[in-house]
A and B are shown apart, each in its own frame.
Chain A
Amino acid sequence: MEILVCVKRVPDTSENEIEINKDGSDIERDDLVYSVNEWDNYAVEEAIQIRDNVGGSVTVVSVGDEDAEEVVRREMAMGADKGILLSDNAFEGSDGRGIANILKAEVEKGKYDLVLTGAQADDGAGQVGGMLAAMLDWPYASLVNSLEVVDDKTIKVGREIAGGNLEMNEIDLPCVLSIQTGINEPRYVGIRGIRKVASIDIPVHGAGDLGITPESVGESGAKVKRIDYFTPELGEGAEILEGSTDEIIEKLIELLKAKGGIK
């Protein structure tokens, strides 16, 4: 099976507290630790497992600037066979539709049976997979948390719905799936693994290579534009307990007792 996995380089929220810059135009990017989007790691792991079971190859692709190469390489260190970076000044400022447009062009250059994305990334939108499928006119299933290859034309997927129940579907190939966390246990990648793939060439494709008209992507093609970042004015919010740890604990225990929190 030929599998393409779409990945994104994002600020790692478990490593950073996200702050807004002075004029609210962006988040504070100095000293941010970046990593591959959490959901994408599960997608790559799933692709690798499918390949190891039924054969074929796994290609990892990312739309981004030159820094995005590091996450493509990291996913190759996990075991993906190929990496591609889609990068062009014209891509900057793309909205979800723009990103899906760029990815569609790359998908059409290959012969893929299966395209995977993460269920969502740092902006919580969860839009690229569904749009890509619609553009390709391929079937789509989101929030996939179990996957089984039936034969070379069909797979069986479980979508995670409310309460953690699984909605089982049979879906024809080629298709696009968005992968939910927990579907597998992504393998660990150490420094040595990264070193092994350090010298592998990762081709970069721009708008011209992909036959994309610049106006259809980037800032100019975007229907949705972020205008600022802000911290919402909170309602009541929590009463923050202050003082020494002993004082805080004393207060907290009093409150817990009053609310029936200690049996």
Chain B
Amino acid sequence: MTQPVFAYILYENGVADDTALELLTAAAKLNPDASISAIVAGSGAGLDAVCNAIAASYAEVWKIDNEALAYVNAEVLRGMLVRILPQGCIVLAAHDHFGMDLAAGLSNKLDAAYLPDAVDFEGIENGKLKAVREEYGGQVSTHVLCDISKGAVITVRPGSFAPDESKSAGGQVLDKTADAMEGGLPGGARRFLEVVAAEVGDVDITKSEILVSVGRGIEDEDNLEIVSDLAEAMGADVSCSRPIVDAKWLEKARQVGTSGQTVKPKVYMALGISGSFQHIGGIKGSPFIVAINKNSRAPIFQIADVGIVDDILDFVPELTDKINEIKG
């Protein structure tokens, strides 16, 4: 029998996450013959709206509706999923802050394999799935073989599969709440309290038209001056990658990425940024991207429009001087 595939769908404010339709594509590529169902957990009207919307794309939608899931705590959800998932199935979730919380432990509780952060699938042979992953921040790719014969939990990198927009499933919503709650509410050892919003900074980089963004390649806090000088010459704002914020060189509000801001400038200059998917995930609206990096194989060059292989500490001041000279 073909193993059924389940996609766990995240949503917010009654709207499914972008990854909902990417997981559908991923599931079909994983195994074109498998039945594919969605699982959505939450509570109230927002949940119903999402289930109905998702049923246009997935033939079957499993709904788990409980007040305790008004904010979905992975510890609670994991306990519920273990109760309702059929043995040997394949579970997909996005490799994001939620998937990273849920999936590894879930695989263990299901006694299934765990394949984290898959970016592509290349077929199943003798119960083994061939998949593509990346290592070292995207500097190299690998093929892996994952023994899925006893089931698997797989997190899929957001953005690596195109969304399936066909919406032709005409699916049905099944309420699985009773089964999920059998034996009471699980996961009580971790209790959700509240979400504390990130600090607001003095510039709102989500509104910037031109961003000069700096990464770990800047090496030293004192060198940030060459970045702000370039930004000033260009009439741009300064943004950055995560390590710059971790080092407390710039404020959190200037961080671009999945755990920072989502920006949509016209022009994005990436200086000494390697191009991890968490960073790139924060750049939307297809800006013109210029990457300057001393490593010619840095992943940022895969998504940039224009690349310059050079040391930013040498190149950037010269660029700034030239722009200032032209502007007079």
Q: A200 contacts the other chain (Cβ, under 8 Å)? A: no
Q: Is A240 within 8 A of B308, CB to CB?
A: yes
Chain A residues with Cβ below 8 Å from B322 are 249-250, 253
Which bracket fits the contact residues of B? 35 or more
B1 at the interface (CB under 8 A from A): no
CB of A181 within 8 Å of the partner chain: yes
B305–A238 CB distance below 8 A:
yes
Contact B267 A259 (CB under 8 A): yes
Contact in complex: B101, A142 (CB < 8 Å): yes
Complex: chain A residue closest to B217, CB-CB: A14
Residue A215 is within 8 A (CB to CB) of chain B in the complex: no
Given A230-B141, A240-B309, answer yes or no on A131-B101 (Cβ-Cβ < 8 Å).
no
Complex formed: what's the CA distance from A140 to B139 in Å?
30
Output the nearest chain B residue to A180 by Cβ-Cβ distance.
B259
Q: How far is the CA of A14 from the CA of B246 in the complex (A)?
A: 15
Interface segment among B20-28, B50-58, B106-114, B169-177: the answer is B106-114
Residues of B contacting A255 with CB < 8 Å? 288, 290, 306
A256 to B236, CA, bound (A): 12
- State whether the Cβ of B307 lies closer than 8 Å to any Cβ in chain A: yes
Residues of B with C-beta under 8 A to A123: 133, 135
Instruction: Let me know if B4 is at the binding interface, CB within 8 A.
Output: no
Q: Are A134 and B109 within 8 A (Cβ)?
A: yes
A59-90 near B? 1/0 per residue, CB < 8 Å = 00000000000000000000000000000000
Q: How many residues of chain A have a CB within 8 Å of chain B?
A: 83
B243-301 interface with A by 8 A CB criterion: 243, 245-248, 252, 255, 258-262, 266-267, 269, 274, 288-291, 295-297, 301
15 CB contacts below 8 A, A to B, read A18-B135, A18-B139, A97-B113, A128-B104, A134-B109, A140-B101, A141-B75, A156-B193, A230-B140, A230-B143, A240-B301, A240-B308, A253-B326, A261-B210, A262-B327
| Distance to closest chain B CB from A38 (angstroms) | 8
Min Cβ gap B193→A in Å is 4
Q: Which of A166, A226, A261 has the most CB of B within 10 A?
A: A261
Q: What is the distance, in angstroms, from B83's C-beta to the closest C-beta of chain A?
A: 15
Of all chain A residues, the one with the shortest Cβ separation from B266 is A260
Among B101, B198, B233, B323, the one with the most A-chain Cβ atoms within 10 Å of its Cβ is B101
